[in-house]
Amino acid sequence: MRICVATSYTANFAPLGDLAAATLWLYAKRHSCSVRIEPNQAPMARPPAWHRIRWVPQLFEEGFDFVLWLDADALFLRFDCDIRTVIKPGKDLVYGAPFRSGTARQNACPK
């Protein structure tokens, strides 16, 4: 299963976004996941958090089976919980524990 850990943020959020993104790299390395970070997200008409609505489907088009999205101000404090333990067949979008608020987990849907 190809898993991607992803986040994005605007340039004005870079001090915190870069700090949080560093923890994504550490988590992904430990659990053999890919990472996609867009640190200079272009301004949109909607708030920056809406960027994921366009970007997550593009990650599936790259061939990922599962995307773990973290908000730009969410970071990993523990690295022992593997996302694979909460992926359930038949569930396409999951929010909540053990990966608290600021995260969304989504499976690719069959075509």
Domain boundaries, the chain: 3-107
Higher-confidence position of 40 and 68: 68
Question: In whole numbers, what is the pLDDT of the chain averaged over residues?
Answer: 80
Return the CATH number of 3-107, one of 3.90.550.10, 3.30.465.10, 3.40.50.2300, 3.60.20.10: 3.90.550.10
CA-CA distance, 59 to 19, in Å (whole number)? 22
Residue 8 pairs with which residues in a beta bridge?
38
φ, ψ of residue 95 in degrees (nearest 5): -125, 150
- The reply to whether the predicted model has a pTM over 0.85 is no
Residue 69: pLDDT band (50, 70, 90) is confident
